[in-house]
Amino acid sequence: QPTVFSSEEELARRQGLGATGVAIGGASAACSAMAELIARQEHIETQTLDDAVENYRQLLSDLTRMGRTTSMRPVKRQLVKWMDPLIAAIEAEQDAIRSGDKGTDRQICGPFLVAVKADKLAVITMHSVVNSTLLGGEQGARV
């Protein structure tokens, strides 16, 4: 029969602490350092995506205001053109997931799709598509 722990004992055990709260073999310090590294990496990735979203929006706004959208490089022009429709499509999919609508793979992918804001998913998707296409060379992206 499994051992029953109080919630404090269980927490201490999972953190690598003994009954007195003293670290066992430095496990707590290692876990703490790893958690800090993971949090830092998550912050950097989130900030990078936030910057990319803002960059696309600002670029489109500035060039539209100046009437110079045709002066953009073709790839960047296409990404800016895709941005808003892709965000709208992702938001519609997120709404369908949240409302419990049945659909292909929504039960599997749904929790992940609603965990990230639509504009960030749009940037990730656009960059992935372009990278896959460019890495595929003359054959294009592998499906």
pLDDT value for 77: 74
pLDDT value for 68: 63
Q: Is the pTM of this model over 0.85?
A: no
pLDDT value for 36: 85
42, burial (CB in 10 Å: exposed 0-12, middle 13-18, buried 19+) = exposed
pLDDT value for 136: 67
State which residues of the chain have pLDDT below 70: 1-29, 60, 63-64, 67-72, 134, 136-143
Neighbours of 79 (CB within 10 A): 22
pLDDT value for 56: 73
CA distance 111 to 98: 9
Start-to-end CA span in the chain (Å) = 49
Token pair of 25, please? Answer: 């073999």
pLDDT value for 85: 93
Q: Where are the alpha helices (DSSP H) in the chain?
A: 7-14, 27-66, 74-98, 106-113, 118-135
Burial 52-64 (b: 16+ CB within 10 A, else e): bbeebeebbeebe
Asked if 28 and 36 count as a contact pair (C-beta separation under 8 A), the reply is no
pLDDT value for 99: 92
pLDDT value for 18: 47
The Cβ-side half-sphere exposure at 129, using a 13 Å CA radius, reads 12
pLDDT value for 138: 66
CA distance 119 to 44: 17
DSSP-assigned letters across all residues of 66-79: HT-GGGS-HHHHHH
pLDDT value for 3: 45
pLDDT value for 86: 94
pLDDT value for 62: 74
